[in-house]
Structure 1
Amino acid sequence: MEQKLLRSVFCLWVLASCLLLPASSNGLRRIGLKKRRLDLHSLNAARITRKERYMGGAGVSGVRHRLGDSDEDILPLKNFMDAQYFGEIGIGSPPQNFSVIFDTGSSNLWVPSSKCYFSISCYFHSRYKSRKSNTYTEIGKSCEINYGSGSISGFFSQDNVEVGDVVVKDQVFIEATREGSLTFLLARFDGIIGLGFREIAVGDAVPVWDNMVEQGLVSEEVFSFWLNRDPDAEEGGEIVFGGVDPKHFKGKHTYVPVTKKGYWQFELGDILIGNQSTGVCEGGCAAIVDSGTSLLAGPTPVVTEINHAIGGEGVVSAECKLVVSQYGDLIWDLLVSGLLPEKVCQQIGLCAFNGAEYVSTGIKTVVEKENVSAGDSAVCSACEMAVVWVQNQLKQKQTKEKVLSYINELCDSLPNPMGESIIDCDRIPTMPNVSFTIGDKIFNLSPEQYILKTGEGIAEVCISGFMAFDLPPPRGPLWILGDVFMGVYHTVFDSGKLRIGFAEAA
């Protein structure tokens, strides 16, 4: 009888202990973090950096830059102005804490160094002090990375890195000794932790995620993002290392294979505005998922159609109007005759093929007493855009007059290359959905999901979540699905099976 009573008491004690244990005791770490709202200056700085980053504008000196359950660890993310999400990690023993962006579009870890003496931005952020860590190992190899919005230079070091409740041992990272831009001064994060593949790691450094896997710190070679887009919520989101949290999504994930290691790249299918196909990606387009990019970026022809459909303010293109007025009928006739779209501008004489891509021909045209060079790359690009637009309208069986009138309207609203497209906030209820085909499923974005807001009251401004981004062949064209998309769809990065999964976020 006494043994039975003791057994009952023990069972009750175990049950009570399980109920009272903190969340971190099961290997999961959850911390509520603050957020800041969207800021136009930060978005513009990110736009410049993104352009340089993917177009090969980032240069590296002194290093080689190659392109080409309880085991889950959950790290909450801070929502930086509804565009950048960052969380806290620790470096060294004892750990020195840093706020870093978890960036699937890069593969290195860098933080400011205590040896950063001549950059004012370093004094506004946490700085790594190697002398205070008893697990520090000196490497000293220097590196420099140049971005469109500034540059980072420093040297490689090695130390333990604490991510959530796990410690990654002997992680190679960059101590930044110079941060040459106001972008870094104003940033609310200290550094960046790259979650891309090793193929794009500067200095061939092994990424933090790869080391987590190799050191057996996770049970599955999977990490996942849940980004909270609610501007009033305290928690910005969570990244889960080693698996997924079922509370973060609804239904099942749609998985697509990684088509090229480096960035998390996959093949994107057709893109629809409302229920109408844009026709651009019917045969497949390259796309990457990038948590370090705030908006959705894609080729100018499609983004122009999207922003025109939602009433986005743009800029007038004289080259575009020239092509439509002088060559619109001919473009129509050539496409109707069956000429391949990629050969139309060459046939007209506005572009020439140099063996790798179409370039300008040097033809001069006079329009309204102004010399406009049809040999400019802008004219060649305008022709190529017009071909895309006409081809798409042909599929919808529109008349030539309506098509050319529509294209002329598009020429008045090209995305502003210097910034975002401003939207009338009152038009949001009447705007169309924009949809992406991934695998065999359509992923919809409603106006409330792809329009970003900044300011309050009479100062409120609405911004299109779509930005023009033209990456030339052979690496482009390329779509970048940033936080606007990832906030709507929970995203799984499976490095073991080389696939990416999307499901509706909870």
Structure 2
Amino acid sequence: MKEVIGITQIGRRGLGSAGINGSQQKKSMCFKMNVLPSAVLLLILVSAAHSISLASSPVRRLPWQHRSLTKRLGPSRTFRERLQGPIPNSYHLPVPDFRVRSTTRDIRLKNSYDNLYYGPMTIGTPGQEFNVVFDTETKITWVPSKNGYFGRSLLGTSKKYDNKLSSTYKENGTLFLVFYGSEIASGFRSQDNMEIAGATINDQIFGEADLEPNVFSGSTIDGILGLRLSGISTGEELTVLDNMVSQGLLPAPIFSFYHSRYGTDDPDSVLTLGGTNPDYYTGDFTFANLTAPDRWQFEIDRVQFSDGVGTDRGQKCQAVLDTGSSFIVGPRDDVDELHARLGAKPLETNPRLYLFEGYQLEKLPDLEFIVNGQKLILTSRDYVSKFPDSVTDGFYSGISGRKFKGGESPVWNLGLNFLRTYYTQFDKGNRRVGFAKAI
């Protein structure tokens, strides 16, 4: 993310922000494929808490909604194109107010055809409710505004925040601008109380949008709650997570996600604030330290397939965890080559989307990400999805490609195709992310 004179710039596929660590390697390929005559190979990919015991903390739950955008946009839509941002010199962790009893808090999310997950929050006094995507690649939280910057709103959504109706509203007025691929969300910042999972956050700064991407028009999703890592020094507003910790509403600057699979008997999707919920994962966590000051970015040792083919040059890769993207996104040239070797065929109307026939699925190898010496495995059922019947027959790859601009270091985005397989912990206090097998 990039802060320029009060304007927040974020580049993304559909919901996110940008900022790529310039120290990352310039190589676009983090692995090398060796093709065996008798094998079909698959693709690669790679797009944190205090030492406080959470075992005795009660848990509150709130529903998390998932609504699919596939039928509206088609599965080929990329969620974010990110811009390079500055690297701060120090990090700011809020000091908790221990006069307030803190607890972990669960927000139940709803699954929208495995493309997006969203849940409720309220702003103002009395509260005005919105459905938002909890996005790890956006820092600012924003909702549609009824009172546009010039006294009007250009939005067509039915839910709009009206600051004139809130007794706790405070004016801010600085502008924000968020890029979503070729579209934008823009407006001005305001300050008001915000309620999430039964906890009231006082004086939270957020964005009132008077212009939003077309994808939100008529959608059940109203806005974004930003969960991007805040690697800040001074002068920047606190994120929702920062404020919840500083006001004593959470025991630690940690949150964790469980993403269900659409059309299955899986439990509801859940975002846990302040810690983890052992009901949604099995085994131990594999942890990786963060490698960027303001993104949930970490290092992958190696990407390979279950037959052992993959990186034989020992190159490491950078990856970002992205809850606002339904795809795994990598350098386009690499992704094109991988799909060609898998026998996938590009969709005629969108060559960035690759198709598989149903009979091919059982022949595709598992994809393995080696993190701190441990294998994180995706099967073909994890990275291949079925088209909605109304679109076309067959299956499409959950791995997409993007072009990196000059000076950008390639970073793989691990979107929902990865996050459904692994319960993921985001630990700001210890500057790490953790992965455990989802139930």
Same fold (TM over 0.5): yes
User: Root-mean-square deviation (CA), in Å?
Assistant: 2.9
Normalised TM-score (structure 2): 0.76
**C-alpha distance in structure 1 between counterparts of 2:136 and 2:123, whole Å:** 20
**C-alpha distance in structure 2 between counterparts of 1:302 and 1:163, whole Å:** 41
Within a 5 Å distance, the mapping from 1:334-353 to structure 2 comes to none
Letter in 1 for 2:362: P
Letter in 2 for 1:449: D
**C-alpha distance in structure 1 between counterparts of 2:134 and 2:66, whole Å:** 16
Map of 1:157 onto structure 2: 190
- 3-state DSSP class of the match of 1:29? coil
Identity %: 30
Question: Shift of the alpha carbon at 1:232?
Answer: 3.8
Letter in 1 for 2:159: S
2:292 to 255, 260, 272: 260
**Conserved in 2, the CA contact under 8 Å of 1:34 and 1:235?**
no
Question: Shift of the alpha carbon at 1:33?
Answer: 4.3
**C-alpha distance in structure 2 between counterparts of 1:84 and 1:206, whole Å:** 25
Within a 5 Å distance, the mapping from 1:412-427 to structure 2 comes to 419-427=352-360
Letter in 2 for 1:427: Q
Within a 5 Å distance, the mapping from 1:199-214 to structure 2 comes to 199=231, 204-214=236-246
Does residue 156 of structure 2 align to residue 123 of structure 1? yes
**C-alpha distance in structure 2 between counterparts of 1:236 and 1:43, whole Å:** 23
Map of 1:167 onto structure 2: 200
**C-alpha distance in structure 2 between counterparts of 1:293 and 1:281, whole Å:** 29
The number of equivalent residue pairs is 368
1:488 to 413, 417, 421: 421
Map of 1:300 onto structure 2: 332
**Conserved in 2, the CA contact under 8 Å of 1:286 and 1:476?**
no
Within a 5 Å distance, the mapping from 1:156-235 to structure 2 comes to 156-179=189-212, 181-199=213-231, 204-233=236-265
Normalised TM-score (structure 1): 0.67
Question: Shift of the alpha carbon at 1:483?
Answer: 0.6
Higher strand share: 2
Question: Shift of the alpha carbon at 1:70?
Answer: 7.0
Higher normalized contact order (CA 8 Å, seq sep 6+, divided by chain length) = 2
Letter in 2 for 1:482: G
**C-alpha distance in structure 2 between counterparts of 1:227 and 1:273, whole Å:** 24
**C-alpha distance in structure 1 between counterparts of 2:309 and 2:240, whole Å:** 40
Higher helix share: 1
Map of 1:271 onto structure 2: 303
Letter in 1 for 2:80: R
**Conserved in 2, the CA contact under 8 Å of 1:292 and 1:482?**
yes
Question: Shift of the alpha carbon at 1:275?
Answer: 2.0
**Conserved in 2, the CA contact under 8 Å of 1:111 and 1:192?**
yes
Does residue 106 of structure 2 align to residue 110 of structure 1? no
1:40–1:491 CA distance, 2 compared to 1 (3 A): same
**Conserved in 2, the CA contact under 8 Å of 1:118 and 1:178?**
no
**C-alpha distance in structure 1 between counterparts of 2:200 and 2:104, whole Å:** 13
1:170–1:42 CA distance, 2 compared to 1 (3 A): farther
**C-alpha distance in structure 2 between counterparts of 1:126 and 1:67, whole Å:** 36
1:82 to 110, 114, 129: 114
After superposition, give the CA deviation of every residue in 1:416-441 in whole Å (9 maximum; x if it has no partner): 97532122123111111111111111
